[in-house]
Structures are given as C-alpha cells and as structure tokens.
Amino acid sequence: MPEHRGQSLTESPRGRFAPSPTGGLHLGSALVALAAWLSARNQGGPFVWRVEDLDGPRVVPGAAEQQRDEARWLGLNWDEGPDVGGPHAPYGQSERSDLYEEALAQLAEAGWLFPCRRSRKDLRALATAPHGRDGLPPYSASLRPKTLAPDWFARYRTATRPDAALRFRVADGPVTFTDCVQGAVTENVAEAVGDFVLKRRDGVYAYQLAVVVDDLAMGITEVVRGADLLDSTARQIQLICALGATPPAYAHVPLLVNEAGEKLSKRDEALTLTLLRDAGVTPEAIVGWLAHALGQLDAPSRVSPSDLITSFDTARVPAAPITVPSELPRVLRRLAA
C-alpha cells in the first residue's frame, strides 16, 4: 500500500469531534475537543459535532446533550451537529444506517467483503498465533471462504436473520502514514488484526466502518482524536482506499493518564467537567491547563478557546501521554480564583 500523507491543505478544511455518548466530558475528552476545534478554526474551517451512538448498551441517556452543554460551557461551538443541523444531517450514527449499507454494498460489489459465522470462541480455539489487541488472534487470510456464490451478498441482505458478520479482506503489506502529532506510523493490518469486522453478527455496524463512512460523507479533511485510536488508523486508511476515496489528515493527541498510568475514565470522577464545575473551577482555568498540556501555552493561565485560535500549532502538541496529578482539581481552583 502506498504511503499516505493526508489531504492537501489547499482543500477547504473541515474538522470534527465525534464523542461516544457514554457519559459527560472529562479532561481527556475535553483535551481532544479543544485540539480538534482549535485546529479547524486555525485553518478557518467549519467544525462538525457527530454523535457516535452505535454501541447501544454503552449509550447513556442524556449524555450526548450533556457533552454538548459542557463543550459550550468551555467556549467551543460548532457549525453542524445534531442540535444545529447542517447539510450532512443526521449527525447521530444510529440514524445513518442507510449510508453504512450503501458502503457495504459498494465494498461487496468490489470483492472486499465476506460473511463470517465464526464466533469469538471458535477464533480463540483456532489460535496458535499470539492473541492481538482484542484478545483474539489476527483473523488470518486462510480463514476466508475459498469460494463465494456470486449472489451471496444479495442473499445476505434479504435474509431475515443473516446470522453472519461481514469482514473486510485486508490488503497485505504495511500501511504508512504521517500523523501530524505522532509522526511517521507504519502498521501491518494483516499481522496486527487481520480481516476485521464491519458489521457484527447481531447487525451492529462496527466503529471502523461508521467512522470512515461518516468522515467521508461529511467531507472531513482532518481527524483530530485521542492517541488511543492511533492503531485504528491503518485499518481506516485501507477501508477508505477500498471505497476509492482519499484519507483525511490525522492528528492523534496525547492521552491524559492518571497517576496509575491509566487513560482517564469515568472512574477518575474528580476530573469530569461536571465535578470540576461544581467545585468552582472556571472554563478559562480548564482551557488554560489544557492549552498548556497541548504545548500551546508556556504555563497554565486563564484563557478562552478563541484566544488560542491564531497561534494554535499542531507541531507544538506533544506525542507522549500526559500524567494528570491527583491534586489537579485544587490547582485548577487556585488558577480560577
């Protein structure tokens, strides 16, 4: 696969933030939102808010609205999104199934898909290779069906209960791309994960499919997101190329980790925007601390996002995870005072 450098800067830039509505924002998700917003605004581009609510059981009622309220409180805004509408509506993935089906049909037509009835248990049992990231061995090309009936996809689509996942035949060889923050990245998808799932056996569309279809349909030229998604990027680039499109530019911003070195999560409750706000911390103090973490300010100070647009530079964003000290809420309260 040829080296991929992302879309040229001469195209009209469009950025996005695409949170899963599993809870309110915490400092880590706020860092991503701020970086994505600043990068789009710095290039004069519009900013899209998309709700990634495909994983039904993980969706928390009211969380999508709460995330937007908190982002607005921080001083962010968006030109398109579920609450403001826009030319690419709807902006919630659970309402975009038609587009995912169209993309699957296009991929099937071009020979990129096959149905798979193997369960996780089957795959674990087959494993001689070391297990990959999701606890399963990479799905090897040797597991692909040897032949497929020419009308297999039509029959799959019209079946009342298809009872098969759809997998993507990954291309051999490394995918290389230059991330605006993490630098040169090379990944061999066949060795790392193998043929990955685009639609689950229970009918749920996979994140990898939905994110690619939506970023393309919404004309996103730059994907700014957390570094935990860096290892999804090569898969997404393969998928985008299979759909005959050009990948966006990527910038994977550092993860915020707690003192135990774990990615901030709901458990780090004191670092949610709700609790920080309740504790009297101001949005300007949070934004100042985040801007410092993003390498945009020499020291944390009180600022609003719009103060940072002109000087924002992805080249200054550090790549390595940033440890959030447990006394941060106190530090932010002092900064706010």
Which residues would be at the binding site for ligand GLU (CB under 6 A)? 18-20, 52, 211, 225, 229
State residue 326 phi and psi, 5-degree precision: -65, -20
Return the beta strands (E) in the chain as ranges: 15-17, 47-49, 113-116, 165-168, 175-179, 183-187, 196-199, 222-226, 249-253, 256-257, 322-323
> What is the rounded distance in angstroms from the CA atom of residue 168 to the CA atom of residue 230?
19
In the complex with ligand GLU, the residue whose CB is nearer, 18 or 165, is 18
Q: Which residues contact 150 (CB under 8 A, 6 or more apart)?
A: none
Give me the helices (H) in 43-90, please.
63-74
Q: In angstroms, give the least distance from the CB of 93 to ligand GLU.
A: 9
The distance of closest approach from Cβ of residue 31 to ligand GLU in the complex, given in angstroms and rounded to an integer, is: 12
Nearer to ligand GLU, 248 or 283 (CB): 248
Instruction: In whole angstroms, give the CA distance from residue 230 to residue 238.
Output: 14
Copy the structure tokens of residue 120: 């996780």
Shortest Å distance, C-beta 94 to ligand GLU: 13
Instruction: Name the residue nearer to ligand GLU (CB basis): 20 or 238.
Output: 20
Query: Which residues, at least 6 apart from 218, have a Cβ–Cβ distance to it below 8 Å?
Result: 14, 16, 48, 50, 80, 88
**To the nearest 10°, the Cα dihedral for 40, 188, 171, 227?**
-20
φ and ψ at residue 199, rounded to 5 degrees:
-140, 130
Minimum CB separation of residue 111 from ligand GLU in Å reads 26
Catalytic residue set: 266
Minimum Å gap between C-beta 75 and ligand GLU is 20
Q: Is 167 helix (H, G, I), strand (E, B) or coil?
A: strand
Question: Which residue number, 190 or 212, has a Cβ lying nearer to ligand GLU?
Answer: 212
**Residue 191 Cβ vs ligand GLU, minimum distance, rounded to whole Å:** 22
Residue with smaller CB distance to ligand GLU, 35 or 328: 35
CB of 328 to ligand GLU, least distance (A): 22
> Which of 36/332 has CB closer to ligand GLU?
36
**259-269 per-residue burial string, b: 16 or more CB within 10 A, e: under 16:** eeeeebeeebe
Neighbouring CB atoms inside 10 A of 299's CB total 8
What span, in angstroms and rounded, lies between the C-alpha atoms of 2 and 231?
A: 18
- CA dist 144 and 118 (Å) reads 11
CB 168 within 8 A of CB 176: no
The residue among 162 and 219 lying less far from ligand GLU, judged by its C-beta, is 219
